């Protein structure tokens, strides 16, 4: 009855339309999306950021500056470290005030942190959400009760503050992994709840009943009858989860409990720009724009994917 207002909710009653989609779903979704210029642009930007993340060391070689390299010649030491000039041939997107580190290089490396964490967290959340959602929805009874209670408990938690608290208490050595784990632990119930609902309604459908009646084993029913029909729901949830987690990672890094310096991350770059924003606005505009565009691309794409796989669904 209580609906959290994360962007991660999909109407639970869309089972009617989504059930019975064909195996060629993914290919046809992609084709439809590519024909839509806006969706294609979003996809292109996401691919660009992914490439940036993947080939960061190579790209940095071309641009000429390492993300950790201090360039004292690019800042004015007498003025408290204000960068000399903005975009330039040497520093494509300018340098960090105070240190003179190359912003472009840090953006490229920061993409690594953002993408790696967001995608790993999405994979883990999806796995947990689908498994527990299926278990609760298919077996019902006590299994369902236990899983549902755990989900309610986790959703009642003030997730952000708790994540911050946990991360601040934990040693900083393996923050990336911890981030992924913590985000996923609090993230899976939102997917599981929807998977559970759809599984429950799919279980009543004739083709599942027919499979059960013809003596198929439980695992066969779950994996060959129910799971394929959840594919479009999961697809929509995933495209909506990624931007959420990108934002979460950046937010946590912004608050100083995310990626540990000097490893760059977009959120962290924005955090360190707080003290400079009035003098060097470029320092927050650059990572801010990259971040906002990435989240926007995923959101638009998520919307389009949803309207392709579930045309009758609510927006």
Binding site for another protein (CB under 8 A): 1-5, 7, 152-153, 156-158, 160-162, 164-166, 168-170, 243, 247, 250-251, 254-257, 267, 270-271, 273-274, 277-278, 281, 284-285, 288, 291-293, 295-296, 299-300, 303, 314-315
The least distance separating another protein from the CB of residue 251, rounded to whole angstroms, comes to 6
φ and ψ at 249, to 5 degrees? -60, -50
The least distance separating another protein from the CB of residue 57, rounded to whole angstroms, comes to 27
| Alpha-carbon span 298 to 295, nearest angstrom | 5
**Residue 43 or residue 59: which is nearer to another protein going by CB?**
43
φ and ψ at 234, to 5 degrees? -65, -40
**Residue 65 or residue 276: which is nearer to another protein going by CB?**
276
Q: How many residues does the chain have?
A: 315
| Alpha-carbon span 30 to 133, nearest angstrom | 26
The least distance separating another protein from the CB of residue 3, rounded to whole angstroms, comes to 6
The least distance separating another protein from the CB of residue 250, rounded to whole angstroms, comes to 6
**Residue 2 or residue 214: which is nearer to another protein going by CB?**
2
**Residue 98 or residue 225: which is nearer to another protein going by CB?**
98
**Residue 65 or residue 186: which is nearer to another protein going by CB?**
186
Residue 236 Cα distances to 11, 195, 241, 297, angstroms: 11, 12, 9, 14
DSSP 205-259: SHHHHHHHHTT--HHHIIIIIIHHHHHHHHHHHHHHHHHHHHHHHHHHHHTTSSS
Task: Enter the tokens of residue 126.
Answer: 């999806």
Q: Under a CB-based contact definition with an 8 Å cutoff, are residues 254 and 261 in contact?
A: no
The least distance separating another protein from the CB of residue 58, rounded to whole angstroms, comes to 28
3-state DSSP assignment of residue 95: strand
**Residue 62 or residue 169: which is nearer to another protein going by CB?**
169
Residue 110 Cα distances to 94, 121, 195, 241, 287, angstroms: 15, 17, 33, 19, 9
The least distance separating another protein from the CB of residue 5, rounded to whole angstroms, comes to 5
């Amino acid at each position: 009855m209580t609906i959290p207002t994360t962007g991660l909710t999909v109407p639970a009653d869309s089972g009617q339309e989504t059930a019975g989609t064909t195996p060629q779903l993914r290919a046809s979704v992609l084709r439809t999306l590519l024909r839509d210029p806006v969706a294609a642009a979003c996809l292109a930007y996401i691919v660009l950021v992914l490439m940036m993340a993947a080939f960061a060391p190579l790209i940095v070689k071309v641009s000429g500056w390492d993300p950790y390299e201090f360039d004292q010649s690019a800042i004015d030491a007498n003025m408290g470290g204000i960068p000399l000039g903005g975009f330039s041939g040497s520093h494509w997107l300018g340098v960090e005030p105070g240190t003179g580190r190359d912003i472009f290089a840090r953006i490229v490396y920061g993409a690594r942190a953002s993408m790696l964490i967001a995608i790993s967290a999405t994979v883990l959340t999806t796995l947990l959400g689908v498994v527990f959602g299926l278990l609760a929805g298919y077996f019902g009874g006590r299994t369902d009760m236990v899983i549902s209670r755990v989900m309610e408990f986790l959703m009642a938690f003030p997730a952000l503050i708790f994540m911050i608290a946990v991360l601040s208490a934990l040693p900083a050595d393996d923050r990336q992994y911890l981030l992924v784990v913590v985000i996923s632990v609090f993230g899976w119930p939102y997917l599981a709840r929807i998977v559970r609902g759809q599984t429950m309604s799919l279980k009543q459908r004739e083709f599942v009943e027919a499979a059960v009646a013809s003596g198929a084993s439980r695992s066969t029913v779950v994996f060959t009858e129910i799971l394929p029909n959840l594919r479009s729901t999961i697809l929509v949830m995933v495209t909506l989860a990624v931007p959420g987690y990108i934002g979460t990672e950046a937010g946590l890094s912004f608050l100083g409990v995310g990626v540990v310096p000097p490893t760059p991350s977009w959120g962290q770059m924005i955090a360190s720009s707080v003290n400079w924003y009035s003098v060097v606005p470029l320092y927050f505009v650059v990572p801010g724009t990259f971040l906002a565009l990435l989240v926007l691309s995923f959101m638009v794409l998520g919307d389009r994917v949803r309207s392709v796989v579930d045309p009758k669904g609510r927006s």
